[in-house]
């Protein structure tokens, strides 16, 4: 508690006192100062009732009772009763004596002592009235009161009191309080004030927490606040700087009982309707001059469910095993899966393309053309409404093809250009990724960078060294194609002008990996040892995450987070997990699976659909509803 009460005036003022009286904040105007330690505070506050006066020290007289004003921000000061010792120094005309006390406790109307916050780091404080500022010393400890005295104009005055952790009103400000009091002439005025602590850092908590997505409930939010020196802020006085609370839920499925924490001990009620679509829900908090406060998840994601569905009967007739390798959403709103089907002897496998609804029902199965022993790359929907697939035949010619298949099963195959640009070596294409570009053409990676017109004309834009491939490619938010190219000195993220085919090297990366545009407008990519993002201006940030397979699919979910496969690094032959990564590069959820993942996509229903890399017949397709 801060009492406008306190340091005694000298019975005999210093010679220079009269010369400076009323001209503001000088040592002569302060008269003297001291901190009453625990004993003095006990004499003041341990009477057990509201009638005990603040301790005034006088060279010639004992303390006399004085009424004190309430703790309200605007109060009327009460004059000291008659009989108070007189001092030889008197305030100038139009001014009156005001006593000021800082204390770590106060007494309420029930006569019970109530703790207030006077930081134990306090070493000085200032009192400002109008243009005058008084500086006083104060070595605060538990059970300490600190005093000073000054002259203030008669009438209604606003007093601003600031405590500091260094002497002379220097260092970190620990509290800041402004109160208004009516000052009466010819009397010693006392005003009671509680210090309002300045929050420098804080942490959020919820009880219980977090709530489960999909289940209605309430939680009490609390704030642990600290001053600039790390002291926990307690007491009942409001904060000097309130902490605003923001609900990350914009769906209306939840609400807060208050918009800010304004005082220690306050709780805010969070109410959740149980709408699973709103989960997860995060609460954030911030305040002026407060260091970053970690956000708090108050509603967890609705528990994920994984469902497996069988593929349609494999085609051609007699095939007994199906190995799905890649999955995407087709132009018809169904899921399409490409992979291999093999006879019982496994003598010669061929490619297939299956159609599946979001209900998990397989509705069609088609064979690839010219695809004996295919190595299947990625699958995408083209600008012409057909499905386009990369594959290589093996082992006879290592011919590379781009296959086009309509949703009714009509197939065409287009050979890639000669390997390494040398005629006679065959059209090898190590299958990579294929996308539809902003120019209305398809773009693919593998042994090089290829532009594919809807009529099947293929142009090789860039040739990679023998044995090196590129898998990552994405249409950037800037209208360019972004990819990762392998060169003699390593891997480089490259920007490609889709109109001219011109390549611009932007930044180096650790390896070639899958790419996707995130909800933050940056381009995210996988690399050995983690994940990275690059702005369209070329700034790269990387995040270390274990178990990352750079060649795995990387997708942006409808919730704005990114998903990819995570390998069990301790037991690589064991099932994978799908991990959820926010735009700060943090893994927020890990979903354990019972299979290893070959390919992943976001389905038209907003769920994550995946196909396993090693399965039995019939091969399952997985649906993860996070």
Please list, in sequence order, all residues whose beta carbon lies within 8 angstroms of the beta carbon of residue 340, skipping any fewer than 6 positions away: 322, 323, 325, 349, 350, 351, 352, 374, 376
Peptide linkage before 210 cis (omega within 30 of 0): yes
Residue 469: per-residue pLDDT: 65
| Torsion over CA: 133, 134, 137, 140 (sign) | negative
SS3 of 592-604: the string is ECCCCEEEEEECC
CATH number among 3.40.50.410, 2.130.10.10, 3.30.565.10, 3.30.1950.10, domain 305-625: 2.130.10.10
| Beta bridge mates, 11 | none
Per the CB < 8 A criterion, the answer to whether 170 and 164 are in contact is: yes
**DSSP code string of 417-477:** PPGGG-TTS--------EEE-TTSSEEEESSEEEEE-TTS-EEEEEEPPTT-----EEE-T
Four-point Cα dihedral 457, 461, 466, 470, nearest 10? -100
User: Burial, 284: exposed, middle or buried (Cβ in 10 Å; 0-12, 13-18, 19+)?
Assistant: middle
- The whole-number pLDDT of residue 335 equals 94
| Average confidence (pLDDT) per 10 residues, the chain, 626 residues | 38 30 35 34 31 30 31 38 42 90 60 67 93 85 71 94 94 94 92 88 92 92 96 93 95 96 97 88 95 89 80 56 82 89 66 87 74 67 92 59 87 73 45 89 86 90 65 92 84 92 89 91 93 95 91 90 88 85 89 88 93 65 86
Whose structure tokens read 């004030």?
193
Q: How far is 570 from 267, CA to CA, in rounded Å?
A: 44
Please name the residue that has the structure tokens 């539809």.
436
In this structure, are residues 349 and 338 in contact, taking their beta carbons and an 8 Å threshold? no
pLDDT of residue 454: 94
The confidence score (pLDDT) of residue 42 equals 30
Helix%, strand%, coil% for the chain, nearest 5: 5, 45, 50
CA 135/CA 97 separation, integer angstroms:
16
Number of neighbours of residue 581 by Cβ within 10 angstroms: 23
pLDDT at 419: 52
Q: How far apart are CA 509 and CA 469, in angstroms?
A: 14
Structure tokens at 135: 């500086």
Tell the residue number behind the tokens 């108050």, with chain if given. Answer: 298
Instruction: Identify the CA nearest to 578 among candidates 604, 605, 601.
Output: 601
Tokens of 6: 């306190």
Structure tokens at 249: 């839920």
Alpha carbon distance 134, 144 (integer Å): 20
Residue 194, phi-psi category: left (phi > 0), alpha (psi -120 to 50), beta (remainder)? beta
Question: Residue 239: what pLDDT?
Answer: 96
Kindly list the domain boundaries of the chain, sorted by start residue.
Answer: 2-193, 201-299, 305-625
Which ranges of 75-170 does DSSP label H, i.e. alpha helix?
none
What's the CA gap between 428 and 317, in Å, rounded?
Answer: 29
Look up residue 177 and give its two tokens: 């309080």
197 Rama class: left (phi>0) / alpha (psi -120 to 50) / beta: beta
Torsion angles phi and psi, residue 394, rounded to 5: -150, 145
CATH code linked to domain 201-299:
2.60.40.10
Q: Is 514 helix (H, G, I), strand (E, B) or coil?
A: coil
């Amino acid at each position: 508690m801060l009492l406008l009460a306190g340091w005694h005036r000298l019975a005999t003022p210093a010679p220079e006192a009269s010369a400076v009286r009323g001209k503001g904040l000088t040592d002569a105007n302060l008269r003297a100062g001291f901190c009453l330690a625990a004993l003095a505070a006990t004499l003041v506050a341990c009477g057990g009732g509201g009638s005990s006066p603040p301790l005034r020290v006088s060279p010639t007289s004992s303390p006399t009772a004085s009424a004190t004003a309430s703790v309200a921000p605007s109060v009327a000061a009460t004059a000291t009763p008659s009989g108070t010792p007189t001092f030889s120094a008197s305030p100038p005309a139009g001014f009156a004596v005001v006593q000021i006390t800082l204390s770590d406790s106060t007494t309420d109307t029930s006569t019970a002592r109530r703790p207030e916050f006077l930081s134990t780091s306090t070493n000085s404080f200032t009192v400002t009235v109008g243009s005058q500022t008084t500086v006083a010393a104060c070595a605060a400890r538990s059970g300490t009161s600190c005093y000073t005295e000054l002259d203030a104009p008669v009438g209604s005055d606003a007093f601003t009191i600031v405590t500091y952790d260094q002497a002379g009103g220097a260092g970190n400000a620990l509290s800041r309080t402004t109160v208004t009091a009516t000052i009466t002439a010819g009397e010693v005025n006392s005003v009671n004030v509680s210090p309002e602590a300045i929050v420098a850092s804080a942490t959020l908590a919820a009880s219980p927490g977090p709530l489960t997505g999909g289940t209605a409930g309430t939680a009490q939010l609390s704030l642990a606040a600290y001053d600039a020196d790390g002291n926990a802020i307690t007491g009942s006085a409001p904060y000097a700087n309130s902490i605003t609370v923001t609900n990350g839920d914009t769906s209306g499925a939840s609400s807060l009982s208050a918009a800010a924490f304004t005082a220690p001990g306050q709780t805010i009620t969070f109410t959740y309707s149980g709408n699973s679509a709103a989960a997860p829900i995060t609460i954030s908090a911030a305040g002026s001059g407060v260091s970053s406060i970690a956000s708090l998840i108050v509603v967890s994601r609705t528990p994920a469910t994984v469902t497996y569905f069988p593929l349609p009967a494999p085609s051609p007739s007699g095939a007994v095993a199906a190995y799905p390798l890649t999955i995407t959403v087709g132009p018809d709103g169904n899921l399409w899966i490409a992979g291999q089907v093999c006879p019982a002897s496994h003598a010669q496998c061929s490619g297939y393309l299956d159609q599946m609804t979001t209900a998990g029902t397989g509705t069609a199965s088609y064979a690839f053309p010219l695809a004996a022993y295919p190595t299947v790359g990625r699958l995408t929907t083209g600008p012409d409404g057909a499905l386009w697939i990369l594959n290589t035949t093996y082992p006879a010619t290592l011919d590379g093809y781009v296959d086009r298949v309509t949703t009714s099963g009509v197939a065409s195959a287009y050979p890639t250009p000669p390997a390494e640009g040398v005629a006679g070596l065959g059209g090898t294409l190590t299958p990579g990724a294929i996308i539809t570009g902003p120019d209305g053409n398809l773009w693919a990676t593998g042994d090089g960078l290829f532009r594919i017109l809807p009529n099947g004309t293929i142009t090789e834009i860039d040739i990679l060294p023998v044995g090196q491939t590129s898998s990552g490619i994405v249409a950037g938010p800037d209208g360019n194609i972004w990819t990762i190219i392998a060169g003699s000195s390593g891997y480089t993220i490259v920007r490609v002008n889709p109109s001219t085919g011109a390549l611009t090297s932007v930044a180096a990366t650790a390896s070639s990996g899958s790419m996707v545009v995130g909800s933050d407008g940056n381009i995210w990519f996988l690399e050995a040892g983690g994940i990275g993002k690059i702005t369209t201006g070329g700034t790269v940030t990387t995040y270390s995450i274990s178990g990352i397979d750079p060649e795995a699919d990387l997708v942006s979910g409808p919730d704005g987070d990114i998903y990819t496969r995570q390998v069990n690094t301790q037991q690589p032959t064991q099932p994978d997990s799908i991990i959820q990564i926010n735009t700060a590069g943090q893994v927020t959820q890990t979903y354990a699976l019972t299979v290893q993942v070959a390919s992943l996509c976001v389905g038209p229903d907003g769920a994550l659909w995946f196909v396993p890399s090693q399965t039995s017949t019939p091969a399952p397709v997985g649906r993860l509803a996070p």
